Chain A
Amino acid sequence: MIPYRQLAGWAVFGGVMCLLPLVLPPGILRMVIFANFLAIFALSWDFISGRTGYVSFGHPFLIAIGAYSTAILSFRFDWPLIISIPSAVLITVISGLFFFVPALRIRGTYFALVTLAFMELAYQLTQVLRPDITGGTRGISGITSIVSGAVPNFYLSFSILFVAALLLWFLARTRMGTALAAVRMDEGAVTASGLSTIRLKLFAFGVSALVAGIGGAFYVHYLGSIAPRAMFDINFLFQILVAALIGGSTTIAGPIIGAFFLTFLLEYLRPFIDGPERFLIFGSVALIVYVLKPNGIYSILESGYGLALARFRRFRPEGGPAK
């Protein structure tokens, strides 16, 4: 059965987003670009952590691999972007599979800590290992842009988000999506059902790394610079996690909603609280949403839509009079 309603939802989302440059000023549009990238990262994180239950605290590591690879290849070695970006994505996927190898043996808190350790290790190595290539603590600036201006960058970032979201939505609707959900619920029972959980997890890790790598590579060309302190910032990690969780983990729309909510919340808090205290506020908001609605903003919207639909059905003429 073709999911017409969901496809229509995607079409409306795509249509509305494409019209945004007509109504939004460039300043707001730039915020939307950041929201688009955060949504890509949150989707990528959620595919591994939300779907399979392997909570990764090292996701910026994957994003940074994609970002640094294309930055180094294009800036230091003058590779054209058309080659440096796919190469960076490939490097991210390979590194991601290596990065997630510990997950084949451990899970839960230990897995989260190992991935966090990976991120910290990469942070330190980036600063001291071949600073002539990585730029050391100062990073690299002057990285070539793919397109210039708010509107072209908006369309580029949104295209990547839209394609990534559709890809993950399709995967979630396949048997693979069901199998990955089963891994989250009881890995032992999945094995006892005749499925190799190693294969399933490697697939999920690979897809997650692929999306993170694509996002990271395009993100760095949008920013035009990269520095280890910004890339491996713990706040960056929390933004990704919180976007996925308050939006609605294990859904595709949820991390996108969460990313937009968080980006605008942080930005609109800026005039009132300029410093890092903003993160306290967003942490509190995230906590409130998470405690009141563990399934996130998406579930609030979904139940609102359900109520509205029920009310509409109750009052439409062929439904008969309300009693």
Chain B
Amino acid sequence: MTPLLEMRSVSKQFGGLSAVTDLDIHVDEGECLGLIGPNGAGKTTAFSILMGELEPSSGSVHFRGGDITGLPTHRRVQLGIARTYQIPRPFGDMSVLDNVRVGAMPDSVMRLLIPDRATESEWNFLQTVGFTAREASMLPGQLSMGELRKLELARNLATGPRIMLLDEVFAGLTVAEIGQLTELLLQRKRDGMTYMVVSHDLKSLRPLVDRVVAISFGSAIAQGSFDAVLENPQVREAYLGQD
């Protein structure tokens, strides 16, 4: 089966520093892949390369088998790849609803030249992630970290993704918020959504992922089921630490 999204032998250097070295990652349609590794392992760099926000020094990125290495970010989003950021990036002076509506906008000047009114589907994206009508008119500065993550998720959903790259999606959330978010992600997964999830919160990651890839110093050191990867001695040494 052709993977939905794949990076082949990708390396990325920042000057003399190798952030990612000869990395191969793939995720199949409907799968949830977890990316784990210590700080600075290259997980976020890998996401940025997959999104086209960073150009790889070598290697290639493929979506449904087609090479998308040179494709700009917005075109990748239009193909169905979306990402969230470690630190959420809302549009600070816009309401929650308007933030989501930017995600739903068509990439066409002519189609943007229509009066700016909220559509039912845009409201639905907000409701899907659990925002109320009152919260829809709030500014991002008034939201908690959990709500900001939900907002970013809603904006991503509005772009119509086939796969979502979730970067530290559980960071800064309360236990209750993690539970709600996990339930939401699982619900979308049952509807066919594919995920790549970066998280340091292994406990929260566990119920979500089908497979895990562990990265250390920019290279994959293990992959397989969640338990198998965590049992791997190399992973324990690099990521969890060992006596």
Interface residues of A (CB under 8 A from B): 1, 171, 173-179, 181-182, 185-186, 188-197, 199, 203
Chain A residues near B159: list those with CB within 8 A. Answer: 193-194
User: In the complex, what residue of chain B is closest to A177 when comparing beta carbons?
Assistant: B116
* Contact, CB under 8 Å: B53 / A188: yes
* Contact, CB under 8 Å: A179 / B105: yes
Q: Pick the interface stretch among B7-15, B29-37, B86-94, B123-131.
A: B86-94
User: In the complex, what residue of chain A is closest to B101 when comparing beta carbons?
Assistant: A178
Which residues of chain B from 63 to 99 have a CB within 8 Å of any chain A CB?
A: 72-74, 77-78, 82-83, 89-94, 98
- State the CA gap A188–B98 with chains docked (Å): 17
Chain A residues near B98: list those with CB within 8 A. Answer: 178
Q: Does B113 count as interface, using CB distance less than 8 angstroms?
A: yes
User: In the complex, what residue of chain A is closest to B110 when comparing beta carbons?
Assistant: A176
Identify the 4 closest CB pairs spanning chains A and B, nearest first: A194-B77, A176-B112, A185-B91, A189-B89
- State the CA gap A233–B111 with chains docked (Å): 39
* Contact, CB under 8 Å: B94 / A199: no
A interface: dominant SS: helix
- State the CA gap A137–B150 with chains docked (Å): 61
Contact with A along B150-167 (1 / 0, CB 8 A): 000001001100000000
- State the CA gap A191–B73 with chains docked (Å): 6
* Contact, CB under 8 Å: A181 / B91: yes
Q: Does B103 count as interface, using CB distance less than 8 angstroms?
A: yes
Q: Does B243 count as interface, using CB distance less than 8 angstroms?
A: no
Interface residues of B (CB under 8 A from A): 51, 53, 72-74, 77-78, 82-83, 89-94, 98, 101-103, 105, 107, 109, 111-117, 155, 158-159
Of the listed residues A1, A176, A192, the one surrounded by the most CB atoms of chain B closer than 10 A to its CB is A192
Chain B residues near A188: list those with CB within 8 A. Answer: 53, 89
Question: Would you list 7 pairs from A and B whose C-beta atoms are within 8 A, ordered by A residue?
Answer: A175-B116, A176-B109, A179-B102, A182-B102, A186-B91, A186-B92, A192-B74
Contacts known (A174-B112, A175-B116); A195 close to B53, Cβ less than 8 A:
no
15 further A-B pairs in the complex, CB-CB below 8 A; given A174-B116, A190-B102, A195-B107: A176-B112, A178-B101, A178-B102, A179-B105, A186-B89, A191-B72, A191-B77, A192-B82, A192-B83, A193-B102, A194-B74, A194-B159, A195-B102, A196-B74, A196-B107
User: In the complex, what residue of chain A is closest to B159 when comparing beta carbons?
Assistant: A194
Chain B residues near A176: list those with CB within 8 A. Answer: 109, 112-113
Chain B residues near A175: list those with CB within 8 A. Answer: 101, 105, 111-114, 116
Chain B residues near A174: list those with CB within 8 A. Answer: 112-116
- State the CA gap A173–B82 with chains docked (Å): 27
User: In the complex, what residue of chain A is closest to B80 when comparing beta carbons?
Assistant: A194
- State the CA gap A176–B98 with chains docked (Å): 12
* Contact, CB under 8 Å: A171 / B51: no
User: In the complex, what residue of chain A is closest to B152 when comparing beta carbons?
Assistant: A189
Contacts known (A175-B105, A191-B72, A192-B51); A185 close to B114, Cβ less than 8 A:
no
* Contact, CB under 8 Å: B89 / A193: no
Contacts known (A179-B102, A188-B89); A196 close to B94, Cβ less than 8 A:
no
For residue A188, give the distance in angstroms from its CB to the closest CB of chain B. 7
For residue B4, give the distance in angstroms from its CB to the closest CB of chain A. 18
Chain A residues near B53: list those with CB within 8 A. Answer: 188, 191-192
User: In the complex, what residue of chain B is closest to A194 when comparing beta carbons?
Assistant: B77
- State the CA gap A140–B183 with chains docked (Å): 72
Contacts known (A190-B102, A194-B74); A185 close to B92, Cβ less than 8 A:
yes
Of the listed residues B53, B91, B155, the one surrounded by the most CB atoms of chain A closer than 10 A to its CB is B91
* Contact, CB under 8 Å: B109 / A203: yes
Chain A residues near B72: list those with CB within 8 A. Answer: 191, 196
Chain A residues near B112: list those with CB within 8 A. Answer: 174-176, 179
Chain A residues near B90: list those with CB within 8 A. Answer: 186, 189
- State the CA gap A197–B73 with chains docked (Å): 10
* Contact, CB under 8 Å: B105 / A181: no
Q: Which of B107, B116, B155 contacts A199 (CB 8 A)?
A: B107
